[in-house]
Structure 1
């Protein structure tokens, strides 16, 4: 692998040529030879002005905090504690950083440098998290003190800024205005912070470069930090360097065996192929005698397992004596040149490796690497931002609606919508799965059960039961077919025993009916039988009706309850923590219970009405009585008058009444007309025959005809009552019932109750806050990109 190659090669931005020219190839006025000789990296005026603009853009993107969500190009300076990171950064930036025994950097320090005619430095605090450690949406960038025009003031300002970040509860002004010794540290304050000190440095001979100095990794065995501090710093460093677009500027001290330096191992873990690591050897003047060759191998990029695509560099910083004497940045660079020029083995390196020595060459290389990476990443960042905005908005839209500032109005609106929607469904919606569609099968089952209570009269003696059968009356076919049509889509296997034929086990034979009539006679004249016989049979029938009616009511109650509770969930599930849904559920269940009791009471009343036979539908009953009388008589005479019944059953009215050839039945009907009996049909002829069982036939026809009247009345009235009291009756006072039970309009507790009901699930609230903050960051970044 070539020691000077870069994995972050410059690539096309993937935009039109005009835009590409404006970004990457717009040249400024050529610099003078002297200016070009002094300028470094992107500060060189011969490089594209568009590239410097890109660097500024990335710096502004960092200020939005979007690096949490998007992989932004960045240089992160990492190294072990006391690995010379501070001196390295001083050699790059030209400023002095705070120094102390052990760890000096207590929070990330972002440094953005640019070339300008005059020198100045602006120190800011970038607040990424709140007091609880939660990420803010868009970071707060607070300038910390006035603009610095004297380099000597920078170190003190940075130290104060770090203390201000570690003590967020102490006013910032105290750290700026008071003597540091007068401010007592809070014992509970953290040792490290993920919030940043931001430096904007501009001036002549300064490279256009940006980087982030991270706290040095603490050796857990050194005693310089607690276990918690060690883990915090490691997590903080990892959060930066794990991103693919982070260039690691790795500081490795030459005074310690490189195998024991944790930062080197961490860089190896996150960049095993060495594609985005720039290695920097520090403190080359402290290499033990005889070990120089081992470190020179790094510069030649020949150390197995530690070969880097962007090579290793070596810098020489001032020692402690020189620092105490106040050596300037220019003097330090001169001393560095002198060291590498005069000191072996560095001075003996081939010219091709000399370019990896000195801070100037390092800065030049970092500028180009960062520039190439930014050129490659900008179009990708644009797409990532757009995708992230779309995804985040979608995730926010999937969350329940945020709590209202006016919970009473919102709760009232929810209840109004719920009651209105439920009323619409109680009235009936023309769609599959509606409430009325769900109830209809239960109504059909109820009707069939009542119809099966019809008395199973047999117009022959019980002794003839094995030899005689009774055909189904054909005049009931239309009614039964209508009932069957109602149940076409009903699966009543559990409730319906089978066909609608009358149960032979419950057969009532004619001799039994006559015996019952004779035993019931009191003071009646001969040939007359008491009405109580018919009433008794009718009571036996209607006594069976209460259970199916209540079963219908209970089934409808279950269906309505399930339907209503589903609607409660639909309307209230996303409100608050679910307390409103649970309370409305309980209220509606109690309301349903009250309506059930009302419906059951109405059924009891309807059932009580049926205990005494009554009807004003005399024409309807008379018609059925006549039909059943003919039906029963016809069945009796089918055996005793076989020839007559055969003639009647095979009779067809003649097409030509004047024909001389007439059947016996036609002759009988003609004779009846001649004696003044008009309108007699062939099926009426059995009625003219005398029968000793005539009284029993009268009772049977009366009871069977009344059943047709009563059962139709009852099978209409019960579903109507259930619908009136339990279904449509549910919407009666529903809104007032819910609001009064919730007590949301109470003058004393109403506001408190509404606030409790509207309280949001902490997990949902946290998720909304997290997504909202993320959306703020990526939208702010998108705006910056749009301005560019």
Structure 2
């Protein structure tokens, strides 16, 4: 089976033109009587002729792969009479053979001209030798123009052989005789183009495609699918009018082209049915085909037609096309049941009526599609340009400058991130919660001193808390909020007694305070290391994302990979420097306690000592404590009497709170002083640590990554050395996928713009 496709966008020939010559008659004649039926209607307006010619030129640009251009596709089964129909319309002779003869598309572009008849043959490649699609068709002239119609069939055969042997030069098949029928491939999407012009030639284009193979007897399964896919690529488009050719000598339901048509045009809106070989219907079966002509069976919007072409015997006898048309007319006029059809159905018989209908449908479709084509072209151009803009920039002619510039831009962007940028997802904003957690972890190591004996803890513990001033310094955080072990005053005194050596009674060595402080500071290294790891990991992720942003689209990714490795190594060294500095800070805190902030230390000690003593007095002398606290209350008048009595004894200026000094000495006073010393020093040292550790991380790691990074990258990539040009060329080498995509988009844009200029040129 052969399938033929007519390119919509042609000037239409009228049925009144002289009938075509026989393929075996004098095909070199230029007389009108030698022309085919054609699709040329003299009544068509000049504007419509320009539109038909425009669509032809749009096909020439190759833009049909991007835009749905109007066309007519003739499909049917093998031996369905399509070849005879095409020869009748065009006046050219097609290769004939048993089975599948056409193995690649053959595009015929016909144009009426007052010049002598001629035919130019070209080979068009849309795929490479491996069958991969090319971005743009490659065209090659196949021999000199032909001026003798009898030479067309042989030239088509030779051109097809050249296409089916893609590894060989086409010239081999142009002039040399070849007996070897084997080919490198069985079918190809590359096609032959015939540009035919002359008097009586129809303004028409069509493509002769490999025919649909009905069964495995006509070809293997792979070939069947290849041909089906090729035919489908035409008829699946919404602007394709399908001319379904059905041979009356074969059962209708067994013809696969009908089922393929139903799949892509189920409602029959763009299908025209053609019945061929009505003279071969078995006697008595003629009435079975009439429901199609009446559009009662398998109705189509543009109806079914019936034509009769010359038989093989007639062609062998040298019948002319004029005689063939006369015999066709006689057949439908005198042969039953065709001659008995109502006059309303007579217009669906004969080739000339079919051609007239095709002319009208084709012209109307082009008229409707042209405005849409212009819009689709513009939209596709914009979409293609957008796709090109989304691709990485093409390799620079100055690869060294390109690589150096990208490195500088990356380091500059990183420096801004390290300095801090607004937004919740900024680096510094991401680190801050971890810094707060570190501060809380250090603050939670504050000793939980209790100014009363351990055996009284269950009684007095509930009413004890940190002094109020800590709320102003540390917020609502309190050491007592954290789970920890309370240190009671008798435990402190026991440790003090155990530490005594040669001290006088009532004196205790400073080693007691140092031991408590050492127990605290030894807990600071772990949270400091946790913070260091968190900052390192967070910074590494931000840097990784930034590297991907700046280098992922460059070359084939090798620059991104190498920059990542160099930056990771540099960050590792900076993290080690930060870790070393943090360890030094922690080590300093674990040595002998020291501070030059004597004023702060003294204030803290006095405050904590008063806090501890006050809490202890509440447990030891609750009545006196209550009296002192209520001294300003009118409900408690005894305090005035006490102060007045002391004044009579000459002790003037005694305040209520001074009365606690009249109590006998507390044997726990040494322990209270130790507790106040340790707690006061903690406040000074803890504030120092929670500042110094983040400061060390910021200096050595965060900001440290930005210092010296650019020279490190230059040196690591060796782009300042003698091999800089070679190295940068390798780094800038574009990915084959990206390069191929860019080439494909550029070729698409080129043909789209050419097609757009064609529209502008003719004023559509």
1:541 paired residue among 506, 520, 540: 520
Judged with a 3 Å threshold, the aligned counterparts in structure 2 of structure 1 residues 442 and 259 are, in CA distance, closer, same or farther, namely closer
1:194 paired residue among 189, 197, 219: 189
Structure 2 residue 698 is matched with structure 1 residue 723: yes
Structure 2 residue 81 is matched with structure 1 residue 84: yes
Structure 2 residue 549 is matched with structure 1 residue 560: no
Judged with a 3 Å threshold, the aligned counterparts in structure 2 of structure 1 residues 616 and 42 are, in CA distance, closer, same or farther, namely same
Judged with a 3 Å threshold, the aligned counterparts in structure 2 of structure 1 residues 774 and 150 are, in CA distance, closer, same or farther, namely same
Q: 1:344-383 counterparts in 2 under 5 A?
A: 344-345=334-335, 348=339, 355-383=347-375
- State the SS of the aligned residue for 2:272: strand
Q: Deviations over 1:113-152 (max 9, x none)?
A: 3333233333333332233323333323444344434333
Partner of 2:323: 334
Judged with a 3 Å threshold, the aligned counterparts in structure 2 of structure 1 residues 199 and 450 are, in CA distance, closer, same or farther, namely same
- 1:370 Cα deviation after fit: 1.0
- 1:240 Cα deviation after fit: 1.1
Tell me how far apart the structure 2 counterparts of residues 701 and 62 of structure 1 sit (CA, whole Å).
Answer: 96
Cα pair 1:292 1:345 within 8 Å, conserved: no
Cα pair 1:461 1:510 within 8 Å, conserved: yes
Structure 2 residue 198 is matched with structure 1 residue 203: yes
1:293 paired residue among 275, 286, 292: 286
Tell me how far apart the structure 2 counterparts of residues 341 and 472 of structure 1 sit (CA, whole Å).
Answer: 121
- 1:337 Cα deviation after fit: 0.9
Partner of 1:623: 603
- State the SS of the aligned residue for 1:181: coil
Tell me how far apart the structure 2 counterparts of residues 370 and 309 of structure 1 sit (CA, whole Å).
Answer: 12
Unaligned runs of 5+ in 1: 1-9, 11-22, 25-30, 485-497, 654-660
- 1:445 Cα deviation after fit: 1.9
Judged with a 3 Å threshold, the aligned counterparts in structure 2 of structure 1 residues 630 and 664 are, in CA distance, closer, same or farther, namely farther
Q: Which moved more, 1:695-704 or 1:643-652?
A: 643-652
Cα pair 1:63 1:139 within 8 Å, conserved: no
Tell me how far apart the structure 1 counterparts of residues 360 and 596 of structure 2 sit (CA, whole Å).
Answer: 106
Cα pair 1:80 1:261 within 8 Å, conserved: yes
1:131 paired residue among 120, 129, 132: 129
Judged with a 3 Å threshold, the aligned counterparts in structure 2 of structure 1 residues 622 and 195 are, in CA distance, closer, same or farther, namely same
Cα pair 2:466 2:478 within 8 Å, conserved: no
Structure 2 residue 204 is matched with structure 1 residue 215: no
Judged with a 3 Å threshold, the aligned counterparts in structure 2 of structure 1 residues 641 and 145 are, in CA distance, closer, same or farther, namely same
2:571 paired residue among 574, 580, 592: 592
Tell me how far apart the structure 2 counterparts of residues 188 and 464 of structure 1 sit (CA, whole Å).
Answer: 107
Cα pair 2:104 2:189 within 8 Å, conserved: yes
Partner of 2:149: 151
TM-score calculated relative to the size of structure 2? 0.82
- 1:606 Cα deviation after fit: 0.9
Partner of 2:614: 634
Partner of 2:466: 472
Partner of 1:6: none
- 1:378 Cα deviation after fit: 1.7
Partner of 1:17: none
- 1:371 Cα deviation after fit: 0.9
Q: Deviations over 1:506-538 (max 9, x none)?
A: 333334333433333333344433222222222
1:249 paired residue among 227, 238, 243: 243
Tell me how far apart the structure 2 counterparts of residues 57 and 769 of structure 1 sit (CA, whole Å).
Answer: 27
Q: 1:61-100 counterparts in 2 under 5 A?
A: 61-100=58-97
- State the SS of the aligned residue for 1:506: coil
- 1:613 Cα deviation after fit: 0.8
Structure 2 residue 261 is matched with structure 1 residue 263: no
- State the SS of the aligned residue for 2:502: coil
Judged with a 3 Å threshold, the aligned counterparts in structure 2 of structure 1 residues 671 and 372 are, in CA distance, closer, same or farther, namely farther
Tell me how far apart the structure 2 counterparts of residues 357 and 165 of structure 1 sit (CA, whole Å).
Answer: 39
Cα pair 2:36 2:321 within 8 Å, conserved: no
What do you get for the CA RMSD once the two structures are aligned? 4.2
Q: Deviations over 1:182-240 (max 9, x none)?
A: 8x67x5522322222223333333333332222223343545x4433332222211211
Partner of 2:164: 166
Cα pair 1:647 1:664 within 8 Å, conserved: no
Cα pair 1:744 1:754 within 8 Å, conserved: no
Tell me how far apart the structure 1 counterparts of residues 375 and 648 of structure 2 sit (CA, whole Å).
Answer: 101
Q: Deviations over 1:468-520 (max 9, x none)?
A: 45453233332122xx5xxxxxxxxxxxxx85327796333334333433333
2:224 paired residue among 207, 226, 230: 230
Q: Which moved more, 1:343-352 or 1:374-383?
A: 343-352
Partner of 1:384: 376
Partner of 2:22: none
Q: Which moved more, 1:463-472 or 1:534-543?
A: 463-472
Tell me how far apart the structure 2 counterparts of residues 421 and 672 of structure 1 sit (CA, whole Å).
Answer: 78
Judged with a 3 Å threshold, the aligned counterparts in structure 2 of structure 1 residues 503 and 235 are, in CA distance, closer, same or farther, namely closer
Partner of 2:28: none
- 1:48 Cα deviation after fit: 0.7
- State the SS of the aligned residue for 1:198: strand
Partner of 1:782: 756
- State the SS of the aligned residue for 2:151: helix
Tell me how far apart the structure 2 counterparts of residues 79 and 387 of structure 1 sit (CA, whole Å).
Answer: 35
Tell me how far apart the structure 2 counterparts of residues 476 and 342 of structure 1 sit (CA, whole Å).
Answer: 116
Partner of 1:7: none
Partner of 2:425: 433
Structure 2 residue 451 is matched with structure 1 residue 459: yes
Tell me how far apart the structure 2 counterparts of residues 577 and 47 of structure 1 sit (CA, whole Å).
Answer: 57
Q: Deviations over 1:386-424 (max 9, x none)?
A: 333344444555555566676655554444333322222
TM-score calculated relative to the size of structure 1? 0.80
Question: How many pairs align?
Answer: 723
- 1:55 Cα deviation after fit: 0.9
1:51 paired residue among 48, 51, 58: 48
Tell me how far apart the structure 1 counterparts of residues 582 and 647 of structure 2 sit (CA, whole Å).
Answer: 50
Q: Which moved more, 1:406-415 or 1:589-598?
A: 406-415
- State the SS of the aligned residue for 1:465: helix
- 1:95 Cα deviation after fit: 1.8
Judged with a 3 Å threshold, the aligned counterparts in structure 2 of structure 1 residues 715 and 141 are, in CA distance, closer, same or farther, namely same
Cα pair 1:456 1:504 within 8 Å, conserved: no
Judged with a 3 Å threshold, the aligned counterparts in structure 2 of structure 1 residues 641 and 46 are, in CA distance, closer, same or farther, namely closer
2:676 paired residue among 697, 701, 705: 701
Tell me how far apart the structure 2 counterparts of residues 779 and 672 of structure 1 sit (CA, whole Å).
Answer: 113
2:306 paired residue among 306, 313, 338: 313
- 1:557 Cα deviation after fit: 2.6
- State the SS of the aligned residue for 1:712: helix
- State the SS of the aligned residue for 2:124: strand
Q: 1:515-534 counterparts in 2 under 5 A?
A: 515-534=494-513
Tell me how far apart the structure 1 counterparts of residues 742 and 645 of structure 2 sit (CA, whole Å).
Answer: 96
Judged with a 3 Å threshold, the aligned counterparts in structure 2 of structure 1 residues 521 and 377 are, in CA distance, closer, same or farther, namely same
Structure 2 residue 504 is matched with structure 1 residue 509: no
Partner of 2:25: none
- 1:582 Cα deviation after fit: 4.8
Judged with a 3 Å threshold, the aligned counterparts in structure 2 of structure 1 residues 149 and 275 are, in CA distance, closer, same or farther, namely same
Tell me how far apart the structure 2 counterparts of residues 576 and 144 of structure 1 sit (CA, whole Å).
Answer: 41
Tell me how far apart the structure 1 counterparts of residues 412 and 135 of structure 2 sit (CA, whole Å).
Answer: 40
Cα pair 1:88 1:317 within 8 Å, conserved: no
- State the SS of the aligned residue for 2:166: coil
Tell me how far apart the structure 2 counterparts of residues 684 and 559 of structure 1 sit (CA, whole Å).
Answer: 57
Tell me how far apart the structure 2 counterparts of residues 703 and 379 of structure 1 sit (CA, whole Å).
Answer: 90
Structure 2 residue 413 is matched with structure 1 residue 421: yes
Tell me how far apart the structure 1 counterparts of residues 256 and 514 of structure 2 sit (CA, whole Å).
Answer: 104
Judged with a 3 Å threshold, the aligned counterparts in structure 2 of structure 1 residues 623 and 257 are, in CA distance, closer, same or farther, namely closer
Cα pair 2:400 2:728 within 8 Å, conserved: no
- 1:314 Cα deviation after fit: 0.7
Cα pair 1:632 1:697 within 8 Å, conserved: yes
